[in-house]
Amino acid sequence: MLKKITLLCLLFFVGNLVFSQEIAQWRGINRDGIYAETGLSKAWPEAGPALLWHFDELGDGHSSAAVTKDRVYTAGTISGMGTIFAFSLDGKLLWQVPFAEEWTESWPGVRSTPLFYDGKLYIMSSFGKIVCMTAENGAKIWEVDIMKDYGAENIQWGVTENLLADGNKLFCTAGGKEKNVIALDRMSGKLLWSCKGNGEKSAYCSPALIRLPNRKIVVTQTASSILGIDAENGTLLWSQEWPNKYSVHANTPLFHDGQLYCASGYGKGGIMLKVAADGSSVTELWRNTSLDNRMGGFVLLNGIIYGSDDSGKAWWSLDWKTGKELGSEKPVNRGTIISADGMLYCYGESGEIALVEPLSTGYKKISSFKVPFGANQHWAHLVIANGRLYVRHGTSLMVYNLKQ
């Protein structure tokens, strides 16, 4: 009887420990652009949903918001320094702290979204500085330089990666010839393992984590390859050749029901891979060049992939199993896409945000509005949390009520 009580107490403790590890990260809890929200408006007024608050002094950047139960974090470049901003949910600036030198050349600004994981923030600068700080006040805990420490080389528009964490591990595609993909101790920044991969440079990709019954796999893309790496020990399990014109593979791979989808721009399109049950290998199932999204992501709803092409001509819908083109429309110009409560949210590079009903044959545009604040590119991905839409446009962050 005592053993049973002890076991129950242990299970209760472990369950509460896991539950307490709040995570706010790139493209949602599963990094797939799907936000588990309900009760959202199915149509907007002509001017768009109600604007709750905005902040217009973020500096340059394409960082999205990381939203927790009581705070909002994002990043921008102020006087050449990447800076983390922390807000209350009602828009009060709580603190701003510089973390590293940032990109000021072509397309200047912070590229990455802060990762909030169990009370800490993690971010990587475009010059390869990985910084961990406390989410309470921005105090720096540790810093790692992938250029100096792991033989990385910078790439044309600055290294760009939304960091991935799991348990005590923080994963990063360093891009070094020997230490190509690395796992760091999340608490100290010390190296846990490194994988040589194919020795290629990084390619702007934010990795995904595949959870199989007996194995976890980190999936990322380097200059000409898709890599599958054992998350526990860094063993390269498989690689798939996947080059494109400029070695830009900025979309996070998507895993569902034993299959892995990756898509790149510049005419490359997408590839679907079947992942072996034990994760040890992949087999190609199909390719499609129409949905060649460069960096706006894609979502999977009801067996259909939705996303825009790189040319700006159309948004496509593809059958997940076969890659067959089901339809195309143009609700807005090319851009980013997320989903919540069964609807699509499409943010075009022209600054228009559309609420779209997903159809089996394409897209039905319901409502839209133009983003009123900010400057430069409309590249940041949208975020939905607690019934609110978070929109980043360069220097500004805007927050809208989706439950009006």
* pLDDT tens digits for range 273-302: 999 999 999 999 999 999 999 999 999 999
Q: Is the pLDDT of residue 8 over 50?
A: no
Name the nearest CA neighbour of 396 among 93, 71, 26, 60. 60
Number of H helices, E strands in the chain: 2, 34
Mean pLDDT of 357-368: 97
181-207 burial, b at 16+ Cβ within 10 Å, e below that, comes to: bbbbebeebeebbbbebeebbbbbbbb
- For residue range 187-220, what is the model confidence (pLDDT) as tens digits? 999 999 999 999 999 999 999 999 999 999 999 9
SS3 182: strand
- For residue range 112-159, what is the model confidence (pLDDT) as tens digits? 999 999 999 999 999 999 999 999 999 999 999 999 999 999 999 999
Calpha distance 248→202 (Å, rounded): 9
- For residue range 14-45, what is the model confidence (pLDDT) as tens digits? 444 444 579 999 999 999 999 999 999 999 99
Identify the pLDDT of residue 21.
79
Give the chain's mean pLDDT. 95
Identify the pLDDT of residue 404.
72
Identify the pLDDT of residue 237.
98
Calculate the CA 161 to chain-centre distance: 8
Identify the pLDDT of residue 112.
97
